[in-house]
Amino acid sequence: MLVLYNSNAGSAPGADVDALRTYRGVELVACENPDDTIAAAADAARTGHDVVVAAGGDGTIHLVANGLMEAGGSAEDRPALGVLPLGTGNDFARTLGLPLKQPVGAAVEALGHAPTRTLDLIRVSHPDGEGQTQYAVNACAGGFSGAVDEILTDDLKATWGPLAYLVGGVKALPALDGYRTHVTWGGGPAETVDAFNIVVANGRTAGGGRPVAPRASPEDGLLDVVLVRSGTGLDVARLLARAAAGDYLDDDGIVFDQVERVAVTSTPGMWFNVDGELRTNDPITFEVVPAALRVLVGPGYQAAPPEPGATSPV
């Protein structure tokens, strides 16, 4: 089993990585930077590995998935993606139904007989110099979420762990501004909305378990797009309370749709993160890639979203 991890991640697994070295059949590869991680996954795909495991959080999973997407023309031609959730937020792992507090040895053992499902990815395109394209596994968020990610340094993550997202949110509140946002749904005309935030999701949570897209399914061939309209602090508080209760998508402060493609342009430029990493404030386009990767899922995995208010098994 080939296991890739980012040796310089803010939430470096530490003792968990040391423990991985002791397991027979585990080939552990340390990657010093994002390009190394992508290259190692792509090389593994081209050299016939059946499974490539990302040990870390959503950022590491993102890099490994992008490497796997460089090889093969379909999910069947690429290795399956496995996940050891050793990061700060572990949001994609939550959608996969993986236990988050499982000892490393038990997690490795579970991957050896985990079922495989073929999941969608999000293709992300933006100008940013050379028209870069990448793939998101979990979610992309812009606006207020982008402001939080500007604050979320590796040191803050290392110091506060999962609470880093809450600390970042508090620090970003003074900069809570609206964006004049033009959204093109599918191939239709653009809609103009004053927005605080936009989430384009394949998974259901972001920021360490916040249910940003509670109705998302990573197998339905659709993106869940959640746009938060500009409003008052009380409006934001109401939405947060509804989200904590399980589902807020029917609120008047929300524009929600499930589409194959969405393009976003805003004034001022809305900073977007991709799987938790800040990327661009240029115009940006998101497209679903149906059945893109085979992924090992956990015992709590549900392709269809749970009912509002249901308790997560992880």
Q: Domain 122-291 falls in which CATH fold?
A: Tumour Suppressor Smad4 (2.60.200)
> Taking all residues of the chain, what is their mean pLDDT, rounded to a whole number?
84
Percentage of the residues of the chain whose pLDDT score is greater than 90: 54
Model confidence pLDDT, tens digit, residues 202-256: 999 988 888 889 999 999 999 999 998 887 767 776 776 777 677 789 989 899 9
pLDDT value at residue 161: 43
Phi, psi of 133 (to 5 degrees): -130, 135
Q: How confident is the model at residue 16 (pLDDT cuts 50, 70, 90)?
A: confident
Number of residues that this document lists for the chain: 314
pLDDT value at residue 153: 54
Amino acid at 203: G
Model confidence pLDDT, tens digit, residues 117-147: 999 999 999 876 555 789 999 999 988 754 5
Cα–Cα separations (whole angstroms), residue 111 to 9, 82, 178, 240, 241: 23, 7, 44, 35, 36
The domain at 2-120 falls in which architecture? 3-Layer(aba) Sandwich (3.40)
In 3-state terms, the chain is what percent helix, strand and coil (to 5)?
30, 30, 40
Distance, in Å, from the CA atom of 159 to the CA atom of 18, rounded to the nearest integer, reads 21
Domains 2-120 and 122-291 share a fold: no
Average pLDDT over residues 186-202: 90
Average pLDDT over residues 7-18: 64
Return the minimum-mean-pLDDT range out of 170-174, 211-215, 237-241, 286-290. Answer: 170-174
pLDDT value at residue 248: 86
List the domain boundaries for the chain.
2-120, 122-291
Phi, psi of 118 (to 5 degrees): -95, 115
pLDDT value at residue 145: 56
pLDDT value at residue 151: 47
Percentage of the residues of the chain whose pLDDT score is greater than 70: 81
Distance, in Å, from the CA atom of 34 to the CA atom of 132, rounded to the nearest integer, reads 15
Cα–Cα separations (whole angstroms), residue 197 to 45, 218, 226: 36, 22, 8
pLDDT value at residue 244: 67
DSSP line for 95-115 = HTT--SS--HHHHHHHHTT--
Average pLDDT over residues 159-163: 42
pLDDT value at residue 169: 46
Distance, in Å, from the CA atom of 76 to the CA atom of 60, rounded to the nearest integer, reads 22
Model confidence pLDDT, tens digit, residues 52-93: 999 999 999 999 999 999 988 899 999 999 999 998 889 999
Distance, in Å, from the CA atom of 181 to the CA atom of 124, rounded to the nearest integer, reads 18
190 vs 128, which has greater pLDDT? Answer: 190
CB 285 within 8 A of CB 262: yes
Distance, in Å, from the CA atom of 305 to the CA atom of 205, rounded to the nearest integer, reads 11
pLDDT value at residue 168: 46
pLDDT value at residue 164: 40
